[in-house]
Amino acid sequence: MKKVLVLCTGNSCRSQIVEGYLRKFTQGKAEIYSAGIETHGVNPRAIETMAADGIDISRHTSNHIDEYKDIDFDYLITVCDHARESCPYFPSNAVKFHYNFPDPAKAKGTEEEITEEFRKVRELIKNYCITFVKGL
C-alpha cells in the first residue's frame, strides 16, 4: 500500500484539507498522513469548510514531521513554499510534489469574505487531489 505524506508549515489548514480529500479519493487504497514543520492545531474553519463538502476532519490532529521520520513514504506533497524551503532533511526515497496553495488562515475581511476564501482554497485543493489520485 502506498504511503503519502502531506507537509505544510503548521499542519492546521491546507495539509489537513489535502489529507481529508486524499483519504476520500483513495478509498483506503493508500495510507495518508499530514504533518507540519510546526504544529498549530487543526483550524476550526478548515473543519467547517470540509464538513460543508461532506468530509469530517474534526478528529484529525496536528502532527510534527519528526513523528514520521521512520516511515518510508512513497510520495511527499508540500503544499506551501515555506514548508518546501524549510523542510529539514527527510530520509526517504519519496517522489516529491509541490503546490503552493494560498493560506486561507491569513484571509482578512468580513466573516463572509473569510469563509469564501476558505471555500476557494478548498476547491483548489480538491481539484489538485483529484488529479493527483488519477495520476497514481
Catalytic residue positions, numbered? 8, 80, 87
DSSP run (H or E) holding 25: helix 14-26
Q: Of 6, 120, 127, which is closest to residue 52 (Cα–Cα)? A: 120
Q: Output the nine-digit C-alpha cell for 49.
A: 469548510
Q: How far apart are CA 108 and CA 9, in angstroms?
A: 19
DSSP 64: B
Contact status, residue 86 vs residue 35, Cβ threshold 8 Å = no
